[in-house]
Structure 1
Amino acid sequence: MMRVIKGLGQKVKKKPNLTLIGLVAVCSLSYQLLIQTPRYESISRVVIKSSGNESASVEGMPIPQLGMDQGRSDALLVRDYLLGSDFSNQLNEEMDLKKHYQVDNLDYITTLKSDADDMEFYEYMQERVTAEYDDYAGVLELAAQAFTAQMAEDIAEFQILKAQEFINNVNQKITSSQILSALEELNRTMLSLDIAKRDLAKFQEATNTLDIASDAQSSIETVARLEGELASLKTMHGLKSKYLTENTFELKSISDNIVVLEAQIESERSKISAFKPDSLNARSHRYDELMVHLEVAKVAYQNALFSYELLHKEVHSTLKHLIVVQTPIIDERQRYPEVLKNLATHVGIAGILLFILAFIRASLRESKD
């Protein structure tokens, strides 16, 4: 036994660098295989798309789509949300992740400290729950690491759930901020149109007429007809007065009819006269005024309705949708630690450090010589 130890000692003296590299390799393997807590990973991939990929149009009028790279910016917003402290706190409240990551063993490197505060927990979560955007594929990759495969899947599903809620909140803000004002304007013009219709109906009911222009024409025709009858009666009265006395019954009857016709003509003329407040001209002016108000209200309502439909279609084309390209699954394979990769890294770093150290020693020897 002593000979073996002496033999090893001589080999160490002859090749100290290889011995150190071997020691690093043994330590690395021992830590990864015996101490480090195994981790499982669940990966999902999502894409954020808008409803309208092409330009929308209303009655042949195109609506330009602003922002050629809108999908990327939406995905980056979701990524930043999933990497934020609020999301980490929600994860902890939902799944008690602090307790899950605080494993009571000798692994003080990959586990969370038992007395970790919120900031330390957030920094730790940055390494365990990630979200990365692939510019080439346009896909947001979500990854969750945990000490059990089930927990990793649960975290990944929670990521997708909260990403969908975030997109829904964005859509709600878009619709509430833009459509609400247009809807208020549409309701206001609709109310104005109803008021204009009611005012016109009240006026027509009060004046017992539906069309002032028609009533005016009717009054003019009546006056013309009565004046024709009056002229005939006056002509007849003049002819008969040449051979009949005024006291005769026939002439008295004609005279009475002339008086009646003159009164009727005066009454009809008063209807179309502009000098009395309740005259036909005054009513016609008021009727025209109400009709103008009604037409203006109709045009305002039609414009507001068109603007609302236009905006509704434009907003619909900008609504976001989260599409799950790859759903998270339970992967029973241990993903971490990556033993061979870590071993190669540790050995490589040790070799580089030894090379630098040997170079420094050689330089010092040359300077002494």
Structure 2
Amino acid sequence: MIRFFKRNPFWVVALVAILGAVIYWGLIATDRYVSRAHVVLQTPEIMPTGMNVSSLLAGTSGSGDLLLLKDHLESVHMLRTLQNKLDLRSHYSSTDIDRFARLESKDLPMEMFHDYMKGRISIVFDDYASLLKIEVQAYTPEMAQAITRALLDEGEKHMNQMGQRLAEEQVFFIDKQVEELEGRLFAARDDLLEYQNEHGLVAPTQTVEAIFETVSRLEGELAVLKARITAQRSYQSESSPEIRRLKAEAQALEQQIGIEKRKMAQENGNSLNRVSAEYQTLELKAQFALDLYSNALTTLESTRVESARKLKQISILEYPTLAEYSTRPDRLYNITVFVIFAMLFAAIAQLIATVIRDHRD
């Protein structure tokens, strides 16, 4: 056996390494406790047209929000928050932890501390189930559970802050638009009232329609009267009292028709057709401003309701567990894997050395 090891030093190295691995993982490695949680993000489905209990409870966010949450939970900012709340550096750099597993120093740079914590905090996105699987390793079960809970609380707070900030910006912008449109509506309304007062007409368009109806009626009466005059001429002379009376009535009707027509259309001055056209323009502007203002108010209320939907609620499928015994490191698995690879590397190294020796001979 001694002769074999002298001729095959690589196996000696492998056995020494295996012995060291057995001693470390079997006797020295500090127990680590694992806390797990499975979560999904939910958002309330509130419809602007009405709300009911079912709409408030329905709805789950897509994978995009979960990936954003995962990225935030793994960020340096989150690590700083956990450090401020739970003092992770003191826990993971405790002298009770074996030298190979503990944090080198409490004053380690943040980048190195972040790399170290990547091996203690695992966050996996399950695309099939659309959920996040969180696993935290610590050297006491209470600390592992506390870190997991803090991750969930801070993650939900961050997602809500993102949604609320966007919603507030949208509401603020639309609210400014509503104020501008309200001023535009009041200005259009004041112009309309001022125009009505200036011309002493509440509804010029209706006045024009009434005059047009009057003219039509008078022209109808005039046509009937002229027909009677023609009929009277067939058996009475022009100087007869009846024909003279009828002619006087026809002349009066023609004069009245002329007066009414001049009210509607004049070359100079404020004719009713001009007043009506200008009034219609002002009325359309006022109506358009009212429609814009009404739509803006509807949009504002819809946006305020929509802002409630931007609140993200972390729904916990598996609450942060409190470990009853340590599951890390997996001592038997680590030793087995290390033995296999050590023997494999020793065999490869021995084979290479034998090939080199044979070529030299």
On whether the aligned pair clears a TM of 0.5, the verdict is yes
Q: Corresponding residue for 2:79? A: 88
Indicate conservation of the 8 Å contact 1:167/1:322, yes or no. no
> What is the alpha-carbon distance in structure 2 between the residues aligned to residue 12 and residue 216 of structure 1?
121
Shift in Å at residue 214 of structure 1? 4.6
Cα gap change, 1:31 to 1:290, in 2 (>3 Å): same
Tell me if 1:32 matches 2:36: no
- What stretches of structure 2 of length at least 5 have no aligned partner? 50-60, 222-240, 242-255
Q: Secondary structure at the match of 1:351?
A: helix
Q: Which residue of 319, 335, 356 maps to 1:327?
A: 319
2:337 alignment counterpart: 345
RMSD over equivalenced CA pairs, Å: 4.8
Distance in 2 between the 1:135 and 1:265 partners? 84
Structure 1 residue matching 2:155: 3-state secondary structure: helix
Residue 273 to residue 23, structure 1, CA distance change in 2 (3 Å):
closer
Correspondence 1:171-210 to 2 at 5 A: 171-205=163-197, 209-210=201-202
Residue 140, structure 1, aligned to residue 132, structure 2: yes
Work out the CA distance in 2 between the residues paired with 1:75 and 1:121: 25
Structure 1: distance between partners of 2:70 and 2:210: 77
Tell me the CA shift for residue 212 of structure 1: 2.8
From 26, 30, 40, the counterpart of 1:47: 40
The 8 Å contact of residues 11 and 346 in structure 2, kept in 1 or not, is answered as no
Residue in 1 that maps onto 2:68: 77
- Once residues 85 and 192 of structure 1 are traced to their aligned partners in structure 2, the CA distance between those partners, rounded to angstroms, is 49
- Asked if the contact 1:46–1:139 (Cα under 8 Å) also holds between the matched residues in 2, the reply is yes
Q: Residues 286, 130 of structure 1: CA spacing in aligned structure 2 closer, same or farther, 3 A cutoff?
A: same
| 1:195 CA displacement | 2.8
Do the aligned residues in 1 keep the contact of 2:35 with 2:148 (CA within 8 Å)? yes
2:161 alignment partner AA? N
Give how far 1:282 is off: 6.0
Partner of 1:165: 157
Quick one: distance in 2 between partners of 1:316 and 1:274? 61
Q: Does 2:103 correspond to 1:112?
A: yes
DSSP 3-state at the match of 2:25: helix
Q: Distance in 1 between matches of 2:96 and 2:313?
A: 44
- Residues 333-358 of structure 1 show CA distances to partners (whole Å, capped at 9, x for unaligned) of 21212111111122122211221232
CA deviation profile, 1:233-269 (whole Å, cap 9, x unmatched):
xxxxxx9xxxxxxxxxxxxxxxxxxxxxxxx999999
SS at match of 1:31: helix
Q: Which residue of 1 aligns with 2:233?
A: none
Q: CA offsets, 1:286-326, max 9 Å, x none?
A: 43332122222233335545666777788877775533222
User: Where do 5+ consecutive residues of structure 1 fail to align?
Assistant: 1-7, 59-69, 229-238, 240-263
Return the alpha-carbon distance in structure 2 between the equivalents of residues 117 and 217 of structure 1. 86
Q: 1:280 to 1:13 in 2, by over 3 A?
A: closer
Q: 1:123 aligns with which of 115, 121, 126?
A: 115
Distance 2:260 2:63 in 1: 78
SS, match of residue 44 in structure 1: strand
CA distance in structure 1 between the aligned counterparts of 2:213 and 2:341, rounded to whole angstroms: 114
Cα gap change, 1:118/1:221 in structure 2, threshold over 3 Å: closer, same or farther? Answer: closer
**AA partner of residue 137 (structure 1):** A
Aligned to 2:113, the other structure's residue is in SS state helix
- The answer as to whether partners of 1:192 and 1:297 remain within 8 angstroms in 2 is yes
Q: Does 1:288 align with 2:298?
A: no
Percentage of matched positions with identical amino acids = 26
Cα distance in 2 between the residues matched to 1:271 and 1:342: 106
Length-normalised TM-score, structure 2:
0.69
Q: Secondary structure at the match of 1:108?
A: coil
